[in-house]
Amino acid sequence: MHPTILLLHSIFRYLVLILLLIVLVRSYSGWQNKKGFAAMDDKFSLWLLITTHIQFLLGLILYFISPIVIFSGESMKNPVARYWLVEHSVPMIMAIALITAARTTSKRLTDPTAKHKRLFILNVIALVIILVTVFAMKDRSPFAISM
C-alpha cells in the first residue's frame, strides 16, 4: 500500500505545480491587463484546489503509514525523520491553506481585477513556500546520494 500511495503522491505533486503555474499566469495576466474573471479562471482555480486537497490526503496517509516518519522524541535528533515529521508537513499545510484561502476569498470578491490579484498574491506565496520546502529536502532525503 505504501508504494502505491507514494507513487500517487509523487504524480500529484506535478499536477499541483502545473495547475499552480497556470493559475498564477492567468491571474497575473488578468490582474495586470484588468481582464474579466472568465469561467476558465474559475475552473483552473477549482481544479488547483481539488488537486491540492487530494495531494494533502495522500500526504496525510503517508504521514501515518510511512516507515520514515517516526513518532518519538528521537525523531528530532534524526535530520531525515525530523524533515518528514515536521519540516515538510508544516510548510506544505501552510501552502495548502493559502491555496484554499486564495480560492475561497476570491470567490467572495465582485471586482474581477481584485479576484485576479487575490489569486495571484496568495498563490505565489504558496508556491514560494512549496519551493523552499522542496529544495530544503535535497540533503535530507533518505534517497540522496552522498558524495
Question: Domain ranges in the chain?
Answer: 2-136
DSSP for the chain reads -HHHHHHHHHHHHHHHHHHHHHHHHHHHHHHHTT----HHHHHHHHHHHHHHHHHHHHHHHHHHH-SS---SGGGGTSHHHHIIIIITHHHHHHHHHHHHHHHHHHHH---HHHHHHHHHHHHHHHHHHHHHHHHHTTTT-TTPPP-
Q: Tell me the mean pLDDT in the region 59-67.
A: 90
Over residues 67-93, the pLDDT tens digits come to 877 788 888 888 888 888 888 899 999
pTM over 0.85: yes
Q: What integer pLDDT is reported at residue 11 of this predicted model?
A: 93
Q: What integer pLDDT is reported at residue 141 of this predicted model?
A: 53
